[in-house]
Chain A
């Protein structure tokens, strides 16, 4: 079965420092990968996606993610964190399209806390 893992429940960084939120996946075939952010009392907002092409994907609010096929990872990064980046981040993968499945599978989420 396809799956996605976010190994860290929480990531703490100081404002101005680089941040990384980790995501690893397990899918058959080529993965379709997404990152979303959730602010308190709101729905999720799309940040970026990888389907094919360049392994470094740039998204909203200065975030980027690096697709690494050999390590089956899709880590979210930002060169300089802001206090306003503090939120809950979700990695998601589309279920195996070869099985004609249209499911989306989300990770358990990582809370990012950026301290001033």
Chain B
């Protein structure tokens, strides 16, 4: 089954404790992206990747890191999480930026 898998689905943690949210897709997609969803703000793109080893900033990259060492994986790293990063996060992938995105089911992060 074609899918984008995010883990964990839920996480409560404390300020400053490094965390990684994993994202994996099985569709051989080149374009992958991370978004955060906040009430009233819609989805905002954090980072995206055009292909292996090619990443670039979205609209809200501050406080986040990504890497794309393999085509299927695109982890999101919060080196020193802060409460303002409490949000619902989505990973997505597509053949290219002009093609429909396939979204994971989301990761709800709470940073205390």
Selected from A42, A94, A108, the residue in CB contact (under 8 A) with B42 is A108
Contact A46 B98 (CB under 8 A): no
Given contacts A108-B42, A109-B42, contact A103 B103 (CB under 8 A): no
Q: B21 on the interface (CB 8 Å rule)? A: no
Dominant secondary structure of chain B at its interface with chain A: strand
Size range of the chain A interface in the assembly: 20 to 34
Contact B56 A102 (CB under 8 A): yes
* Cβ-Cβ contact count across A and B, 8 Å cutoff: 61
Cα separation A102 to B33 with both chains bound (whole Å) = 10
Interface segment among B44-52, B68-76, B79-87: the answer is B44-52
The contact string, 1 if C-beta is below 8 Å from chain B, for chain A 68-110, is 0000000000000000000000101010000000111111110
Q: Which residues on the B side are within 8 Å of A104 (C-beta)?
A: 33, 45, 48, 97, 101
The interface of chain B, by Cβ under 8 A from chain A, is 4, 31, 33, 35, 40-45, 48, 50, 56, 58-59, 90, 92, 97-98, 100-106
Kindly list 19 other residue pairs between chains A and B, CB separation below 8 angstroms, not including A42-B105, A104-B97, A104-B101: A6-B42, A34-B101, A36-B103, A41-B106, A43-B104, A45-B103, A46-B100, A46-B101, A51-B98, A90-B42, A90-B43, A102-B56, A103-B48, A104-B48, A105-B45, A106-B35, A106-B43, A107-B42, A108-B42
